[in-house]
Amino acid sequence: MKIIIQKFGGTSVMNDERRNLAIDKIKAAIDKHLNPVVVVSAIGRAGDPYATDTLIQLAKSVGIEPNPRELDILMACGEIISATVMANTLKARGYEAAVFTGGQAGIITDENFLDAKILHVEPMRILKSLEEGIIPIIAGFQGITEKGDITTLGRGGSDVTASIMGEALNAELVEIYTDVDGVMTADPKIVPDAKVMDTIFYNEVFQMAEYGAKVLHPKAVEIAMRSNIPIVIRNTSSDYNGTLITNYHRTRSYIEEDTRIITSVANINNRTQVKIIPDKLDYESQEILFDSIAKAGVSIDMINIYPEQIFFIIEEKQSIVLEAVLKELNYEYELITDCTKVTIIGNRMRGIPGVMAKAVSALVKENIEILQTSDSHTTISCLIKSEHTNRAVNALHKYFELGK
């Protein structure tokens, strides 16, 4: 049995017209003798009646914060409603379909409400449904604990549902349907000539998601990578081929002929740079400093430690908490707010000299001050003031010829 997972995002199921377009994609899979397993997100986006953010606001409307367990129960309803409406739409088109919550689909998680980790999947009911010729419609974004409590998988969790079901069912392919034609070389709202990529490595799209691109949940990429199941990002409203995420071409040969060092530019805003000038910088004081920051729940990034000072960045919303820690420890510090981390990504930059110099050159030519840099084998990041974000992303995109 050849199984395909087809996940439809909130905009793809928001009304009858979009749902029928989604069903056209399901029919196309059936016509190719594939057995579709459908995963759906909640209907629409914030403000729409059954969107997740709308449900959260409803829970908070009484004036107190709901506890995580009860909030998970409520948030799971959005996807369940969406799955039921999709199943009925399929039945109206002449197909047999059955709805499954995440728990009924066999997704077993830990008890970390709001951001649960999947422990294992028991997909027997889904396989039975397929064997009976019934299309399973799975409510994304959720699972169930071994005690029977409903959990959710964190923002973007329906992508994770699609990938984990793909792994559990040994699917041929995972299709993620959304409102764009595929993965783009940069944010098209910033770069007018950003283009859709035909194929991209797992690692590259993982880095794009980590560095601010709204592409795919990083956990979904991790699952697909370890099980070597290809993912395709496609537009529900078009027949465009989309972007294949894999280590292979569509012909199943390894990707080697594309010689571009850089494949994309991503950016993440609302960063604050922190500069600390300690009285002394021994190992013990460093350990106390970073341990205190971690215990306060502040996540740090782009860490540079020099003999006389320490630099790192944080989310702007965590600044007040961090300042309290630094004042408690009697540190002299400086904060630079309204920063953006701009990152170039490319699997082939590994071991290639001069890429950092080229990135710096592209920004310097635009008179953009670089506040800090960091790099890995596949990424180079530059911290800049947010007012320069659009110019910086366009400069890097043009310099590395990503629009061609």
At 259 the pLDDT is 65
| Order of strands, sheet of 379-385, starting from the edge strand that comes earlier in the sequence | 301-305, 310-315, 264-277, 332-345, 379-385, 372-375
Give the per-residue pLDDT at 250: 46
Same domain, 150 and 295: no
The closest alpha carbon to 248, from 215, 202, 208, 209, belongs to 202
Instruction: Give the per-residue pLDDT at 22.
Output: 96
pLDDT at 281: 66
- Give, in order, the Cα–Cα distances in Å from 86 to each of 20, 100, 104, 156, 244: 9, 12, 17, 19, 26
Assign residue 290 the CATH number of its domain. 3.30.2130.10
Query: What pLDDT does 194 receive?
Result: 93
Domains held by the chain: number: 2
Confidence at residue 252, expressed as pLDDT on a 0 to 100 scale = 42
Cβ 179 vs Cβ 235: under 8 Å: yes
Where in the sequence is the domain holding 293, given as residue range(s)? 264-399
Please check whether residue 384 is in contact with residue 391, taking contact to mean a CB–CB distance below 8 angstroms. Answer: no
Tokens (6 digits) for 404: 């061609």
| CA 23 – CA 89 distance, rounded (Å) | 8
Among 179, 214, 238, the domain-final residue is 179
The pair of structure tokens assigned to 59 is 């829970």
**Interval 73-89: pLDDT, tens:** 999 999 999 999 999 99
Whether residue 308 is found in the same domain as residue 165: no
Does any domain span residue 257?
Answer: no
The pLDDT assigned to 248 comes to 57
- Model pLDDT, residue 254: 45
CATH label of the domain that carries residue 61: 3.40.1160.10
Number of residues that make up the chain: 404
Q: Which helix (H) or strand (E) holds 3?
A: strand 3-8
Q: What span, in angstroms and rounded, lies between the C-alpha atoms of 46 and 29?
A: 31
Show the low-confidence residues of the chain (pLDDT under 70). 248-259, 280-281
Is the four-CA dihedral 48, 157, 66, 316 of positive or negative sign? negative
350-398 per-position pLDDT tens digit = 778 899 999 999 999 999 999 999 998 899 999 999 999 999 999 999 9
